[in-house]
Amino acid sequence: MEIPAQFHVSDTSGWLVNHRINSALPGYLMVSSRSFTNDLADLSAEALCELGPLLAKAQHALGKVLGAKRVYIGRYGHTPGFPIHFHIIPIYGWVEDLFWQDERYRLLQTFADGPGETPTDGAELTFFIWREFCERAEPPPIKGPSVTETIELLRKTLRA
């Protein structure tokens, strides 16, 4: 799948960083290998050496530039036809607030009683973001810069 140029944020010889195409959450990034493999062991030593610093730089930018409270980094995909890629998901305070306010997601809750108690886990927040910001036709309102503005901010930061 070709990523449209307006979603490109940064790149290296081995990786492309882009904003997730179908995400209304500003700063939801994808880091995809330029090698067509779905296995880390098949990547060149150079690509593997680029990956750690690239993930760290993206995490830092989301926290410093956009104020993400936390940043989740994970590999979920196993669909044939896509190269290995990582999701970088910013968790803003306002996203957590939306999560706690949505009663539908309280059904998932087993150990926490609400904000200030035991925090929810990453799987629940990731599920919330995927459902609400990536799959809904009308996602919740965002706070802060738009996706387009965020892409420009991150381009300046990650390419510096």
What pLDDT was estimated at residue 111? 52
pTM above 0.85, yes or no: yes
In the structure encoding, which two tokens stand for residue 41, read together? 């062991």
Average pLDDT over residues 104-108: 75
| pLDDT over 60 (residue 117) | no
Taking only the tens place, the pLDDT of each residue in 1-57 is 789 999 999 999 999 999 999 999 999 999 999 998 888 999 999 999 999 999 999
Angstrom distance (rounded) from CA 90 to CA 72: 6
List the alpha helices (DSSP H) in the chain. Answer: 45-64, 93-101, 122-129, 147-158
Residue 18 and residue 32 in contact, taking contact as beta carbons nearer than 8 Å: yes
Contacts 24+ apart (CB under 8 A), 40-46: 40/84, 43/14, 43/84, 44/14, 46/13, 46/14
Residue 147 and residue 23 in contact, taking contact as beta carbons nearer than 8 Å: yes
Residue 9 is inside which H or E element, if any? strand 8-11
What pLDDT was estimated at residue 2? 86
Length of the chain: 160
Domain spans of the chain? 5-158
Q: Which has more confidence, 116 or 14?
A: 14
Q: Which CATH class is domain 5-158?
A: alpha beta
Q: Which has more confidence, 111 or 100?
A: 100
What pLDDT was estimated at residue 160? 67
**Confidence band for 121, pLDDT divided at 50, 70 and 90:** confident
Residue 112 and residue 2 in contact, taking contact as beta carbons nearer than 8 Å: no
| Cβ neighbours of 23 (radius 10 Å) | 21
**Confidence band for 129, pLDDT divided at 50, 70 and 90:** very high
Taking only the tens place, the pLDDT of each residue in 55-96 is 999 999 999 999 999 999 999 877 777 899 999 999 999 999
Angstrom distance (rounded) from CA 107 to CA 9: 36
Q: Which has more confidence, 148 or 81?
A: 148
Largest CA distance in the chain: 47
Block residue for tokens 């957590």: 96
